[in-house]
Every structure is written in C-alpha cells, then in structure tokens.
Amino acid sequence: MFTAAKIDQTDKVEFYRELSQQLTGLLHGESDLIANAANTSALMFEMLPDLNWAGFYFLRSKDELVLGPFQGRTACVRIAVGRGVCGTAVEKGVSVLVEDVHEFPGHIACDAASRSELVVPLHHDGRILGVIDLDSPIPARFDLDDQAGIEALARIFVAASY
C-alpha cells in the first residue's frame, strides 16, 4: 500500500521533484483514468499546502469540460471551453496562473473562499484531454515553480493513464 512521505517544502523545485517521484510510484502499474485522477487529486491535496480544492476537469466534447475526481468542496460540474480559468486554459492550450481570481474576467466562483488558482492542461498526442485545477484561499498562492511542478505531475498522470 502506498503512503505519502512528508516532503520538506523549503525548496519548491526539490519539493516538486520528490512529489513527482511519489506520484510515479503511486500510479505505477495502474492505467485506469478515474483511479489515477482520484489518487493524483488526493496526493496533491494532501501534500500541497494552502489548497481548498485540487482536481480534474475532463474535455468530454469540443465545447465542454466535465468535473472529474477531486478533493475539496462540491464543485461546478460543467464548464464551457473559453469560460473561467479552466475553460481559458483549454482554449489557449497553456497553463493559467491567477494571483487573484476576483480580477480574472469571467471567473467562475464554485467556492467563494478561493482567491488564487492554477490550471494546467493535460496534453496527449497533440490534443487537450482536460485540466488539473488547483484553488487556494490565499491570494498569489501559486508561482512559476508551482506551475512547472504541476505541469510535471500532469505529464506523469497522462503517461500513466493514456
């Protein structure tokens, strides 16, 4: 049975390197999309400080994301491509880091406590499959080191699940 090991968080680059190793071990030998998304969400929520939501939205049509496994409060079920931070990340095909969601045009407030957000697209064979979405009640919680670290986790998840 897998048990997450505590990681020193003083060096973010090293933290994400070790978290990537843990995720690789957690997903090793499992290819089920839902199981892997559930465990990836749980690991991120457990290991990343100051989160109030961590999870997935999957692209189920060319126009719409649908809620996948997550940790946190109940969430919006469907998000149109191009709407909110998640829909914008899919439309642009790149990660979107938002220091203050109240200043993001068209932000969708699923949890009023959220103040900052990081959304990372899941890329596979030249297409986007969905996103990893992280929310925090702390303004400017995420930085470029977090973005690079979550992008690495996204690649590990996609390699294991697709």
Domain count across the chain: 1
Tell whether 22 is covered by a domain: no
pLDDT digits (tens, 9 = 90+) for 124-162: 999 999 999 999 999 999 999 999 999 999 999 999 999
- For residue 111, CA distances in Å to 8, 16, 84 come to 29, 26, 13
Write phi, then psi, for 148 (nearest 5 degrees): -65, -40
Tell whether 2 is covered by a domain: no
Range of the domain at 156: 32-161
Tell whether 3 is covered by a domain: no
Tell whether 19 is covered by a domain: no
Tell whether 38 is covered by a domain: yes
As a whole number of angstroms, the distance between CA 155 and CA 96 comes to: 16
Name the average pLDDT for the chain. 95
pLDDT bin (cut points 50, 70, 90) of residue 110 is confident
The answer to whether the CB of 120 falls within 8 A of the CB of 147 is yes
As a 3-state breakdown, the chain gives helix, strand, coil percent values, each rounded to 5, of 40, 25, 35
Tell whether 111 is covered by a domain: yes
- Which amino acid, residue 113? A
The answer to whether the CB of 84 falls within 8 A of the CB of 107 is yes
Tell whether 26 is covered by a domain: no
Tell whether 20 is covered by a domain: no
Q: What is the pTM of this model?
A: 0.95
Give the CATH number for residue 148: 3.30.450.40
